[in-house]
Structure 1
């Protein structure tokens, strides 16, 4: 089977969907691998390393020619869709809820079998394929590093002959994969960390990392988690109570990191303009949800906005700020998923009786098959 790995052309995207390590394993399994020239350069994987691993390096869109499966990090741009072979399987972080009707139509016109890594179900068997988790983990780490750099002061308590430096106060809003890593990283840097989330299970997770949990713990809070482990959207009444608690707490913080996202919906507002104005000059907000509208209405994608001395930073693609590690983990996610769509002998086999394949499949044979996109 021929697998093609294409270069990412979206602005600021530094990752690549394969590494020399995963290419070597793919070739060892009997697959032919073609990679677009320059695809891994920014991530620290030169063309020569892919050639040594057994891949053929091809310039431009010709890299996809004749491919059975195409690996990408991000969903293809309209011009890139035109270069995909008819009937190929495309596996990427497809940003499925961001698709416009004409983009879906373009995939279906070429009978592309589009598989979205975001739709990997959260079950034990799929853990090694969970790209959202692998990328969010690194994003949470990087959010703290970026926040600390913008803050410009020491994170831990320091006692010196000249005086004592107080530890930074870090507040993490949203305790999923990214939030947990942000807590762990801030704690390792010596900050005093608090965190909040609408999911009851998060309280124990926060405590296990040595942070303090902040939330309105009423009956709605106790039922605020879906069967898949995601946060539910809370009622306006609960949001108002939580906002009042947050407003009091946030005014005392040095760094606030927001991570709250709801699949297919705009990010919920967690930090209002009034809350930002209540913070002291020099404080920092890192809005990890800016790509879906942001948890703070003042955040702007890939900008640092100064609000009376409070810095509001919106990073739309934090994993791309760690391209080598992000690419390595993502490439391993793809490698783990590949056997599910590969029949004996190496042919492609999209078995929709498999719950993982069925969940990830967006388009096939010229039709949109994902119920989540139809609804």
Structure 2
């Protein structure tokens, strides 16, 4: 019998993405799988049920019909308790499980004897690039962060010269020059802002400058040696951090928009902006916190709220920025999962090789146990 791959509607109101699109449904069907889609699963990404049917998928009325006898469940976020209960023992779940924080979900998956894979744990190696959900979603989050900032800001981004006078360009400061940060820089530049950015990795300076932004950092000898051979940031000394904090504080006070992007899946978000920083900014300034779900880079940010401070600064804390550009985010995420499915299904049958370096890194629960070393505790 063909492997049955199910996709259910996301239950979080703030996240309208979907884990299978008609494009990837067709590829999965062409590879010999049966694809079941819960009715309405693609509605938040502007995908009607009929489009799934045209791609060869079966659209069923509810979550129970979708999961009855399913071998694999594709999700954006981790499954709900009723979804886990509806799965048969030995079924496979593939999702962004947020396994470090969603402990109850992980425990329920283990108790249900479900094999689960967290896409955020897929290693960043060459053969796994097409499965890298962190990059695909962060790229869109960086773009959307600038759009949200422009919407909340009460002035324009570009310099405008008019008969009535000149309007100055907005000053945008991006904190963190990873995938999200670089896309935020590029987007703010396209909108005409004057952009500066900072990061603790020396290699990021060239990337920032290549996008037309100015790099802001204390560039002493410690900074120049602050990257490992693998390209990761080293732990900086307290002295360096104090100097960097002083530079950042003096820079933030001059900015119109600040976008923070420091988010590490396995740890709480680092605090980049304090209440004192916020209090120093001009009325009407905007801060967008991409890490609000992980505790926030910004003191005072709140999930799914725009907080206006006493001095008139808006702190934007949308919990799922990729979900606010759902059609494109779903398209990229679904391609990540469709590529990942090639590691799960061989010759039309479910075949899990947990010695494969990608599956070994991503597996969280298997045969009734939590097997990921970083999640066990």
Name the TM-score class by shorter chain: over 0.9
1:363 corresponding residue in structure 2:
365
2:70 corresponding residue in structure 1:
67
2:20 corresponding residue in structure 1:
18
Distance in 2 of aligned mates of 1:32 and 1:227? 44
Note the C-alpha offset of 1:264. Answer: 2.1
- SS for the counterpart of 2:364 is strand
Say which of 325, 339, 352 aligns to 2:328.
Answer: 325
> Is 1:314–2:320 an aligned residue pair?
no
Count of residue pairs the alignment pairs up: 373
TM-score by length of 2: 0.95
2:94 corresponding residue in structure 1:
91
- SS for the counterpart of 1:73 is strand
1:283 corresponding residue in structure 2:
285
Indicate if the aligned counterparts of 1:286 and 1:313 stay in contact, CA closer than 8 A: yes
> Is 1:263–2:265 an aligned residue pair?
yes
Check 1:55–1:337 CA distance in 2 against 1; reply closer, same or farther (3 A cut): same
Deviations 1:91-125 (A, max 9, x none): 0011011122x433321122111001101111111
Distance in 2 of aligned mates of 1:218 and 1:65? 60
Indicate if the aligned counterparts of 1:258 and 1:289 stay in contact, CA closer than 8 A: yes
Check 1:302–1:181 CA distance in 2 against 1; reply closer, same or farther (3 A cut): same
Deviations 1:188-247 (A, max 9, x none): 111000000111111111011111110122344334446665545544433322111001
Point out where structure 1 has 5 or more consecutive residues left out of the alignment.
none
Note the C-alpha offset of 1:41. Answer: 0.9
1:177 corresponding residue in structure 2:
179
Q: Which moved more, 1:216-225 or 1:264-273?
A: 216-225
Indicate if the aligned counterparts of 1:282 and 1:311 stay in contact, CA closer than 8 A: yes
> Is 1:241–2:243 an aligned residue pair?
yes
1:106 corresponding residue in structure 2:
108
2:203 corresponding residue in structure 1:
201
Q: Which moved more, 1:302-311 or 1:226-235?
A: 226-235
Indicate if the aligned counterparts of 1:233 and 1:262 stay in contact, CA closer than 8 A: no
1:305 corresponding residue in structure 2:
307
Note the C-alpha offset of 1:370. Answer: 1.1
Point out where structure 2 has 5 or more consecutive residues left out of the alignment.
none
Q: Which moved more, 1:80-89 or 1:314-323?
A: 80-89
Note the C-alpha offset of 1:275. Answer: 1.0
2:11 corresponding residue in structure 1:
9
Check 1:228–1:104 CA distance in 2 against 1; reply closer, same or farther (3 A cut): farther
Check 1:230–1:93 CA distance in 2 against 1; reply closer, same or farther (3 A cut): farther
1:45 corresponding residue in structure 2:
47
Distance in 1 of aligned mates of 2:226 and 2:98? 25
Distance in 2 of aligned mates of 1:53 and 1:17? 15
- SS for the counterpart of 1:322 is helix
Say which of 217, 220, 226 aligns to 1:218.
Answer: 220
Note the C-alpha offset of 1:130. Answer: 0.4
Distance in 1 of aligned mates of 2:26 and 2:88? 24
